Structure 1
Amino acid sequence: MKTLGHWLASPWRRSAAAAGAGALPVLAFPAPSLWWCAYVALVPWILLIRTAPTGKRAAYDGWWGGFGFMLAMHHWLLPNLHVFTFVIGALLGALWAPWGWLVRRLLGGLPSPGRIAAALVVLPSGWLAVELVRSWEGLGGPWGVLGASQWQVDPALRLASVGGVWLISFLLVLLNVAVAVLVAVPRARVPALAGLLATAAATSAAWVWSARPGVDERVAVAVVQPGVIQGRDSGDRRFDREEELTRRLAGQGVDLIVWGESSVGFDLGDRPDLARRLAALSRETGADILVNVDARRSDRPGIYKSSILVGPDGLTGDRYDKMRLVPFGEYVPARSLLGWATSVGEAAGEDRRRGSAQVVMNVGNGLHVGPMVCFETAFPDMTRHLTRAGADILIGQSATSTFQQSWAPQQHASLAALRAAETGRPMVHATLTGVSAVYGPSGQRIGPALGVDASTTRVYDIPLAHGTTPYVRFGDWTVLAALLVLAGWCAAEGGRALRLRRPAPEPRVLPARTVHGSPARPGR
């Protein structure tokens, strides 16, 4: 009977095992939402990598595991991008190749207590470096950051207020490394248990001492979700449905009404009739309406996605143009080279234009809101910037109708919980077709979410908070600390390598001794 080692001797079987192990963390994210899986999901992958016969093979194991993780996290893109989904997974998966090499370097063979202690800090730091690189907009942004899997865990949300989602990721990887060491290197239980205790201590300290947002008043915000509307005239019919739903809010004392992304498919400068209808709705409901226009602008070239505020007198002049666009969905990076993606999937036929700055809007009664559009809610720095600029409520306008029956709508809605916890500001996630959800300043869900089968409106009683979280004050300090750890480790390893390569000193030749004035002969 062949052992597991013999079975893994085949490079292809080993690669398949690495891809399967790398895909396991996706179970912690919505829709499965088995959040506890994140505490051990990396263990099989780590155990596989540490048995790699060479550093090169360990790098391949890291690459294949990263491919499995990225493909599982973005599998809902397959019906739209087809084979290009595998290309994206392979390109992003390569970012984990150095991490795989690092795992074997620190945990391969029979690691010493010193190497294990280093692994508990260096490997989480290396993981964060990977998440930082792939969080660049052009590589898809921070979708599927490991720490985001803990969006419904109160202690983790408290950690987010201290160090952002990055701190959660760091501690999750530390926990997985410690468990892997306990499984594979029983004699190293002391440093592994120390890592587990350090994680528990950090979580407890954040729970006890981190500042809690102070709630001082409440506002009523309504979300309008028209549901799936298809057909050639879907833009007009969607607007009619949104108008109908919004009219039901009259007399309910609403402070703000939020429509989803692409809720208006026409430039309001070209369609003054629609602008007048929106102003009439604002007068009828007694609230400003934040809509989102996805259209070619009349005052400048190109197509923009814009959050526009409408009051009882018409357009207020507050406008935010989306800054960070979805690669391939809203623009094709290096179109001259990758334009062929439009022929194998539903990549953007024409690039959207970008806005230049974030905007905080005043919706009356001293209430300030910070809008973002869809993909942008995945970026912690954007909500942090809006909070520092004075936003009382964070708003994400989204449309995931293309991926209606996939995990994408729930994954997207869950990000708002992290952004709220990080900033200590409530966040509204309003969509066209679900999932729409609202989270309080500690990341807790407020009221029921609107699912993908809902065509309705709902009013949420939202607590406003004051004060500044450590994450808003200090920013991405966790990432900076991780990079410093990596730099320090590299410097130490470089110094060690130089010492090993330094040639031994040549033996010193002593002059021959003399005995009674004559040279001494051997043996005398």
Structure 2
Amino acid sequence: MRTIGHWLTSPWRRSGAAALAGALPVLAFPAPSLWWFAYVALVPWILLARSAPTARRAAYDGWSGGFGFLVAVHHWLLPSLHVFIFLIAVLLGALWAPWGMLIRRFLGGDPSPGRGAAALLVLPSAWLAVELVRSWQGLGGPWGMLGSSQWQVGPALRLASVGGVWLLSFLVVAVNVALAVLVSVRESRVPAVASLVATAAATSAAWAWAPHPDVDGRVRIAVVQPGVVDGQDSGDKRFDREEQLTRRLAGQDVDLVVWGESSVGFDLGDRPDLARRIAALSRDTGADVLVNVDARRSDRPGIYKSSVLVGPDGPDGQRYDKMRLVPFGEYIPARSLLGWATSVGKAAGEDRRRGSEQVVMNVGHGLRIGPLVCFETAFPDMSRHLTEDGADLLLGQTSTSSFQHSWAPEQHASLAALRAAETGRPMVHATLTGVSAVYGPGGQRLGPWLGTDASTARVYDVPLAHGVTPYVRYGDWPVHGALLVLAALCGAEGVRALRLRRNGPEPLVPRARTVHESPARPGR
């Protein structure tokens, strides 16, 4: 331990160690999917920040760990963003600097049991505040929220129906903090054990109390995944492949056919021939076809990504234009300043236009669907609002074809499980090149994933449920609670600073010796 401590005296070595510690949680996400590792992955990072000699050094430990976390979770963006991924990670990693300082403030040195107990509430709250800020669409959105690593754990999905992915993140961090206290702070082990017991009890209570989605119907949804299409005229070839696969669905009693993001590369107003071909597919299959158009609009300026519903008579006027765009991927923030990014990566050559509102579409047989496009499926508020507006089924249309041989397709497909569990609505995640997936109203996976090597059409029997989950009813209440905890902390620190300023430091006046005392002799 002494050797490790000496090695960490170098600021650069310590920052590197913090970055590596911050990167560890990536193993809990797909593709590794070691979900259990999330509950211990933060412990090395916490112990490192706890041992910081100064508050400034603890802030650097938090910053460096945040940098490592962001690079690890988004490493698949490296071929597209190149150096920008490191710049973005440096800037956003600073959000964890206060978290590092709070670790040292509550766990550093020999903390009292009271400080150790407070850490079990303050540190998870601070982590949630970081996730809240970086979840803003302009900063890249809520990709890699720690709670989303629990997408395949039944009890965790039940908790998501109560407090969303936010509650999962809070509990995962709380367990990590409790374990770090058990390992390093002897005086606070009793509160740490109590926290672990309380977490287990809360999980069990949520399992028993949270309402189960009551299945009250079923629909048959077909997902069409054309797979990778290369070469010239790839847009036409992809459409031909989608058409071929969709024709195979005739006679299978399908209620809706879903194509992936950018499945149609031309505006249907400019290409009525394509609209007629899709309408013919709707007649052949007896189902509406939800396509996604990535093209310049014929009725207004600019390029949009739009979910368009096509029936047997052609497009029926129901359309959703993507609202939340991917920074650099679909638009460049401050293009006049950062437009040079197009010369070093695969940044958007022209900014896409944004839609203005979410849309719930009416499909045949009384089915109401709520479409989302690409990384909009990462935003829990969007699926919650669609559910409030009456959606029976959530639909995510995405591509991820640029990241075919990375962890991105699996990570993206897993997010739909959280959105389904949060809302109590089934969700279909349809892609061009994989991974496509379908989840029931409790977040359970329905059938196998369509991997990145699949080119096929598959029909899923999807159960419907129409109850209201606590998360849909009460919203992001774990975030509000975390902000209240941090506000109370700031208020307490402000009162403490005011008292110190008002009272002033105690005067350093030598105490007079009594007649019975004598000066200390040399050597004593």
Task: Answer yes or no: same fold by TM over 0.5.
Answer: yes
Kept after mapping to 2: 8 A contact 1:50/1:108: yes
Partner Cα separation in structure 2 for residue 189 and residue 80 of structure 1: 46
Cα displacement string for residues 320-374 of structure 1 (whole angstroms, at most 9, x for unaligned residues): 0000000000000111121121111111110000000000001111100000000
Q: 1:155 to 1:246 in 2, by over 3 A?
A: same
Partner Cα separation in structure 2 for residue 506 and residue 73 of structure 1: 50
Q: Percent identity?
A: 81
Partner Cα separation in structure 1 for residue 465 and residue 7 of structure 2: 57
Q: 1:2 to 1:487 in 2, by over 3 A?
A: closer
What's the TM-score once normalised by structure 2's chain length? 0.96
Partner Cα separation in structure 1 for residue 250 and residue 401 of structure 2: 28
Kept after mapping to 2: 8 A contact 1:331/1:351: yes
Partner of 1:231: 231
Q: 1:122 to 1:2 in 2, by over 3 A?
A: closer
**Helix, strand or coil at the partner of 2:366:** coil
Paired letter, 2:124: P
Partner of 2:9: 9
Displacement, 1:505? Answer: 11
Partner of 1:41: 41
What's the TM-score once normalised by structure 1's chain length? 0.96
Where structure 2 has 5 or more consecutive residues not aligned to the other structure, the ranges are: 508-524
Partner of 2:511: none
Cα displacement string for residues 53-81 of structure 1 (whole angstroms, at most 9, x for unaligned residues): 11011000000000000000011111111
Kept after mapping to 2: 8 A contact 1:260/1:432: yes
Partner Cα separation in structure 2 for residue 447 and residue 384 of structure 1: 24
Partner of 1:216: 216
Cα displacement string for residues 202-222 of structure 1 (whole angstroms, at most 9, x for unaligned residues): 111110000111101110000
Paired letter, 2:332: V
Matched, 1:313 2:290: no
Where structure 1 has 5 or more consecutive residues not aligned to the other structure, the ranges are: 508-524
Displacement, 1:98? Answer: 0.9
Displacement, 1:11? Answer: 0.3
Q: 1:110 to 1:283 in 2, by over 3 A?
A: same
Kept after mapping to 1: 8 A contact 2:147/2:172: yes
Displacement, 1:506? Answer: 11
Kept after mapping to 2: 8 A contact 1:84/1:344: no
After superposing on structure 2, the runs of 4+ consecutive aligned residues of structure 1 that deviate more than 3 Å are: 504-507
Displacement, 1:232? Answer: 2.0
**Helix, strand or coil at the partner of 2:418:** helix
Partner Cα separation in structure 1 for residue 266 and residue 362 of structure 2: 24
Q: 1:105-504 to 2 correspondence within 5 Å?
A: 105-503=105-503
Q: How many residues align?
A: 507
Partner Cα separation in structure 2 for residue 63 and residue 249 of structure 1: 52
Q: 1:506-517 to 2 correspondence within 5 Å?
A: none
Paired letter, 1:244: Q
Paired letter, 1:182: L
Displacement, 1:186? Answer: 2.1
Partner of 2:515: none
Partner Cα separation in structure 2 for residue 504 and residue 11 of structure 1: 35
Kept after mapping to 1: 8 A contact 2:362/2:369: yes
Displacement, 1:294? Answer: 0.1
Partner Cα separation in structure 1 for residue 469 and residue 461 of structure 2: 22
Cα displacement string for residues 257-304 of structure 1 (whole angstroms, at most 9, x for unaligned residues): 000000000000000000000000000000000000000001000000
Partner of 1:517: none
Kept after mapping to 1: 8 A contact 2:112/2:187: no
Q: 1:336 to 1:34 in 2, by over 3 A?
A: same
Q: 1:458 to 1:506 in 2, by over 3 A?
A: closer
Kept after mapping to 1: 8 A contact 2:111/2:187: no
- The alignment's C-alpha RMSD in Å is 1.2
Kept after mapping to 2: 8 A contact 1:28/1:149: yes
Cα displacement string for residues 169-194 of structure 1 (whole angstroms, at most 9, x for unaligned residues): 00011100000000001232101011
**Helix, strand or coil at the partner of 2:364:** coil
Kept after mapping to 1: 8 A contact 2:331/2:352: yes
